[in-house]
Amino acid sequence: MIRKLFLILFALFAFTAQSQAQDDIQLADTLIINGETIIMLGDSVIILRAEQPKYWKKGGNFNLSIQQVSLTNWSAGGASNMALNTGVNLFANFQKDKKIWDNNLTVSFGFNRQSDRRFANRKTNDNFVFISKYGRELTPKWYLSTQIDARTQLLSGYRYFRPSGAELDARTKISDLFAPAYIQSSTGLNYKREMKNNDKISVIGSPFTGRFTIVMDDSLSRAGAFGVIPGEVVRAEAGMSVTSSTDIQILENIRWKMDLNLFSNYEKLGNLVVNMNSVISMKVNRFITTRIETILIYDERVLITRSDETKGPAIQVQNLINFGIGVDF
């Protein structure tokens, strides 16, 4: 009998304690300040912070590859040499409500050194590309966008040759920083789509495009290089353009990025200026990667000195295959 009475009293005590705890929770004071929920329960203060929206996405990639060959008393012949190629790609993309602002910077540089020749250090890669695009959403996949595309190089560029009867190479300066520089501004419709695996496709068609060719080097300007009027620094053109950007995963650990820009002057519709950059990245592990980079340029106003010493427009192609360090951040 006493045991049953003890059990009943214990059950009543537990029920009363639980009811009191529930009453304490129900009577807790709740405040909301600047989106943060503050709960005060007795001597305890609980702060529940609202998740802050992230409008910016930032990141990039750095790659570096080095090759060295050293020969001493090598009977098979050859020459000691060293090659370096490096590059960095940075992006900062903003999206809020119906507004987007995408920014991308690519800088790459490479050189080759062969000690037994005149002008031992020779540039093999030198590119600076900055693209900024601002847009407002019309539909989930269509935007009205304005884009700025700026391209130049960092160091002087030379054409190397050996004059007839000479024993040593000579060189002629053919380009420099801001000689040339290309600035293109375009406004039009932008189709933009993002898929799984962070795959992205973007195409801008612009009937209103301004393109400016800048040659800041006096000697190149006087020669009328890159299509400017001899003695002038800037050549301005109006026309239409199509710009596309593709970033897709082909296979596991293999991605392909391609940027294509086509421009046609209204004075000569159909004569295209072509700029294409393609990069295939194959990751071995977190830090080791193989990159196949291809740059293709065609501009009929840029006269190229060919191997037979004739001058004229030509397709410019640069191919790079790098195996080395690649870090995403």
Task: Write the pLDDT tens digit of every residue in 98-128.
Answer: 999 999 999 999 999 998 889 999 999 999 9
Question: What's the pLDDT score for residue 192?
Answer: 94
Q: Which domains, ranges and CATH numbers included, belong to the chain?
A: 2-48 (no CATH), 56-328 (2.40.230)
CA 246 to chain centre: 11
Average pLDDT over residues 224-229: 94
Average pLDDT over residues 202-225: 96
Of 186 and 20, the one with more pLDDT? 186
What CA–CA distance (Å, rounded) separates 256 from 202? 14
Average pLDDT over residues 16-23: 48
Indicate whether this model's pTM tops 0.85.
no
Q: Where are the beta strands (DSSP E) in 169-315?
A: 170-175, 181-194, 200-214, 234-251, 254-265, 272-283, 288-298, 304-305, 311-312
Q: List all residues 6 or more positions away from 55 whose beta carbon is below 8 Å from its beta carbon.
A: 94, 95, 96
pLDDT at 50 over 50: yes
Average pLDDT over residues 163-187: 94
Bridge partners (DSSP) listed for residue 322: 291
Of 38 and 291, the one with more pLDDT? 291
pLDDT digits (tens, 9 = 90+) for 285-322: 889 999 999 999 999 989 888 777 788 899 999 999 98
pLDDT at 164 over 80: yes
Question: What's the pLDDT score for residue 214?
Answer: 98
What CA–CA distance (Å, rounded) separates 40 from 28? 6
